[in-house]
Structure 1
C-alpha cells in the first residue's frame, strides 16, 4: 500500500503511523465532492508530500472509474423522451374526437405501460440513461392521461388538483423506480401546482412544503447530489415569495432574517463544528441563503420606497454582507457561494448607481463611502489572512 508523507509503500512503520494535518473544514465524504475539485486537492496533497505519487495515481484512476466519461447520450435521451411525449399528446389530441372511448383508454394505457416496460428492458441491458428517459416518458403520458380523461368524461374540479395528481405519480415513479429525473419533474410540477394555487387564492400556499419535503427526502434517499440544488432552489424561491405575499407584500424583513439564519447555520457547520455528513449540504445551503438574503435586501432598497438615510444604511450593510460572504466563500473554497456573492455585488452596485443618479444621495458621495467601506473590509480580510498564515506555521 502507498503511504502518507512519502512513506515506503511496502509498509514502513512511520508511514503507517503518520497522521495527515488536521483540516476539518476541508475534509468531507468523497460522495459529496466534485471529482475535479478532489483531483486538484490530491495534486496539492502530493506536492505537499502528504500523498505519494503512486497513491495520487491510484486515487485519480478510481475517480475516473466512478465518473461517467460521456453524459451527452443521457441528455439527448431525456430530451428525446420529452419530444416523444409531446408527439404522442399532439397525435392523440388531433384524432381524439374520432376515436371511441374504449380505444382512447386503451391507447393511453398502452402508451403509459409501454414506456415503463421499455424502461425495465433498458435497465436489464444496463442502459440506465435511456431507462430513465423512458420513465420520464411514462410520467409524461400519465399527465396527458389525466388531462384527456378529465376532458373525455367532463370531470370538473380545481385545475391545480390535476397537476397535484400528476406530481404524485411522478414522485411514486421517482422513488419506486429510483429515477432522479422523475423526481426533478415532480419538483417542477409541485412548483406549478403551488404557483397556480397562489395565483387563485393570492395567499401563501403552505402545502407546497409537504410536497417539497417528500421530494427532497427522495433525493436524500438516492444520495443524488444535484437533487440538493433542485431542492434548495425550490425552497429559496418559496421563501423569497413570502416577502411579496405576507404582510400585504411587505415581509421582506422576515425573508432577510430567514436567509441570514440559514447562512449562519451553514457557517457554523462548515467552519466550527465540521460535521462530515453535513458539510457539503451546509456549503450548498450557504450559497442559496446568501441569494435569499440579497433578494430581500434588493426589495427593501429598490422595490420598497425607503428614505434616503434608510437607503444609505441598507446599501452599506448590503455591501458589507456581500463582501463578508465573498471572504467566507474564499476561506472555505465554496465556489457556488462565491459566484452568488459576486453576482449580487454587481447587481447591487449597478442598482445603486441608477437609484442614486439625480437624487439627494448623489452617486459620487455614495461610491466614495462604499469605496472606503470596501477598502476597510479588504484590510480586515488581509489581517485575517496573515493571522491564518501565522497559525499555520505554529
Structure 2
C-alpha cells in the first residue's frame, strides 16, 4: 500500500485502550530478504518457535528498524529489494483482519541509488520519523515524517441544557492531514553512520560519524520543527579525539541525553549539561579494554539508569562488558563487569522486559541469533537461548498493546 492509499484511520490519534501485556517483539531479515518476527509467548518468557513472515515481499537484508507507533503498536521499517523504496509496516488499530496493516510505500529520495542506513523513531508529536543515509559517495542525509493532524472549524447542531431548541455552534475539530506523510527532505551535511534519541522535550537528537571518523550532533529546534530549517545544524563534537567508530545515545534517569563513543580499545561518554539543552560536556574516558571494542548496545535499566554493553575484539569467546548508572548524576556508574561471551563479532540489541530486566540479543556473522536474560541488575543468566539461524540483521521493540492473536 502506498502512502496515497492510506486511510484516515492510519493516522488517527492516541488509543485509550489500556495495555493488556508487555512483551518483546523480535523481528529479523534473513539473508534471502524474508522479513518476519517472533513474539514472547508470555511476559518475560521465551519466544515462539515459528518465524512468521510479515509480508510476501523481499527486502534488503541489511536494513531493518523497529519501533512503536503513537498508540503503542509495533512498527517496522525495511527497504524493498525490488524497488529500493523504504517500506513502513505497523500493527492494525483494531482487532479485525490480520494483525498487521498492509505495507506503506514511503518511496525514496530522488537521485539516491542505494541506502546506507535507516532509522525509525517517534518525534516531537509522538509520530514516526524516518531518517536515511545515502550509500552513494555523497553520504546525503534524508528525513521523512508522518504529518500531524490539522485543526479545522466545523459547524455542528447541539441541544443546550434546559431547552428544546437546537442551535448551531462552530467548534475546532482535529482531522487527518491531506497528505499522510511529508516529502523526503534533505538535511545538510554528509555522514557514514547515524544514531538518534529523543530529547526530554520530545525533540529528536541526531548523532553521526563522517567518512573521516569525525562525530557530529544535530538537535531539532523548537521553531519550525517539521522543516529542514528547524534544526540547530551539525556541530562537530570530536573535542580533539580522532578515529570515532560508533556512537550510541540515550536518555538517563534525570532526562539528560548521554552519548557514548567507541574508539579502538576505549569508550568515551559525553553528557548533556541541562535538561533539553543543546550544550554538552566534554568527552570523558568511560572505559579502557584489553583489546578493541567491536560494538556497543545501550538501554534503560531496571533502576531507570542507563545500561551499556560492549563486545570486545574478534574470534572465539569474545567477552561482553557491561556498566550501568548507579546514582543521580552522570558520574555515578558501576565498575565494568563481564556478563557473557559471544563466539565472534556480533550485532547487539538490548531490550527491557515487562519486569524491567533486560534481554541482550545477538546476531553473529553466520546468521545465528540468540538472547541472554538478565536475572538482577548485577547478574545475567549463564546460557544463551537460540532464536534461529539464517538471519542477516535483527531488531527489537516493545509490544505493549492488545493483540488480536
In proportion to residue count, which structure has more helix?
1
- More relative contact order, 1 or 2 (CA 8 Å, 6+ apart): 2
Pairwise same-fold verdict (TM > 0.5): no
Give the TM-score of the pair, scaled to structure 2.
0.26
